[in-house]
Amino acid sequence: MKSIAKWVTIIWSLFCLIGMFAGIASVGEELNRPMTEMEEAGAGIGIGCGMFVWFFVWAAISGPSALIWTMSGNKKEKATKSDSEICRECGKFYSGNPKFCPSCGNEI
């Protein structure tokens, strides 16, 4: 689940970024022609609204997937100091009853 959320966030962010740049480029081409003050004002408002919509669309998908990615932790159980023992050779913690220390390989 964590890796799926990570890739959804990355791919969706890239898609929205490309879409914003394409929109800015097409608006830039349109702004090169002569315009009246009203047309310039409308173009400015349109650019602002378009950027807001792209940001909203990006946040609607990327936000929840980034939250899932952040909130989902490793499912592996980690040994705590209370239920593990210390190797006499290297001083690192190990759990269970191994014959050799997982860190240094010393016979236990």
pLDDT at residue 89 tops 50: yes
Separation CA 11–CA 65 (nearest Å): 11
Range of the domain at 101: 77-108
Of the candidates 4, 14, 18, the one whose C-alpha atom is nearest the C-alpha of residue 65 is 4
Same domain, 23 and 57: yes
| Contact present, 86 and 95 (Cβ < 8 Å) | no
At 15 the pLDDT is 87
At 79 the pLDDT is 46
Write the pLDDT tens digit of every residue in 35-69: 888 988 888 888 888 888 888 888 888 888 888 87
Same domain, 63 and 82: no
Record the pTM: 0.49
Same domain, 8 and 56: yes
Separation CA 8–CA 10 (nearest Å): 6
